[in-house]
Every structure is written in C-alpha cells, then in structure tokens.
Amino acid sequence: RVLLWTLVLGCAGTLAELLLIGHDESWPQFVPLVLLSSGIVIGVAALAAPSITGLRALKWLMLVFLVSGAVGVGLHYRGNRELELERQPTAGGFSLFSKTVTGATPVLAPGSMTLLGVVGLALTYRHPLLRSSSETLSS
C-alpha cells in the first residue's frame, strides 16, 4: 500500500507541476499528462478495490512510463541541443554537451516518469493477487 500511495501521489505531484509550467503546447507534451492521469486513476482504483485486472493494467502502464521517461529525456536533450546549435553553430564536443544538459529545458526531468514506473513495477512484482493468478494458470 505504501508503494501504491507513493505512486499515486508521485503521479499527482508530477502532473500538477507539468500543468503549472504549461507542459501542454504540443502533442508530445500531452503524453506525460495522459500517462500521469491514467496512473492516478488506475492507482486509486487499485487502492479502493485491488483486482488482478487492475494490477495487470498498472503493470503495463508502468512499462509505458519507463519508455516515456527515456523518450522524454531524448526529446529534452535534442531540443536543448538544437537551441544551442542555433546560438553557436560551430559548438561541439564537451562544450556543446555541457550546454545542452544544462540548457533551458531540464534534460533529466522526464526521468521522474521512469522512477514512477519503477515504483509501480516494484509494487506489482510478486503481488499476492498476481502470484495467486499465475499459480492458478500453471496448475
């Protein structure tokens, strides 16, 4: 239950932050908003009435969280790099890398989606409801 509350509150906090900073200007920016909202809904449902279906849905959603975090880091990095190259077209090497990772868009911020995904996967790993269903299937 602690991990599930951590996930729900983490999703809510991250969603609130993204909405406050206006992370809704293009369709790729809507992806984490939709995922976080889904995480809240599925997480609250799992808190209220745990079920095999709900936990499986949560598990798959957390895998998508992992992927979205990695993709988000890549998008933030690429956006910062393009901006730095517009400012200094001849930039390169460690100087470009350093300016890119410390640029206008926080490059590692999408990693919070990955962290939330790991929390969600940890709570579903060997969950009693999922374990009992897999034992029933293998019998």
pLDDT at 9: 97
**pTM of the predicted model, to two decimals?**
0.86
pLDDT at 129: 79
3-state secondary structure (DSSP) of residue 38:
helix
Each residue's pLDDT tens digit, 88-115: 999 899 999 999 999 889 999 999 999 9
Judge contact between 35 and 67, C-beta under 8 A. no
Alpha-carbon span 30 to 25, nearest angstrom: 8
Q: Which residues contact 5 (CB under 8 A, 6 or more apart)?
A: 47
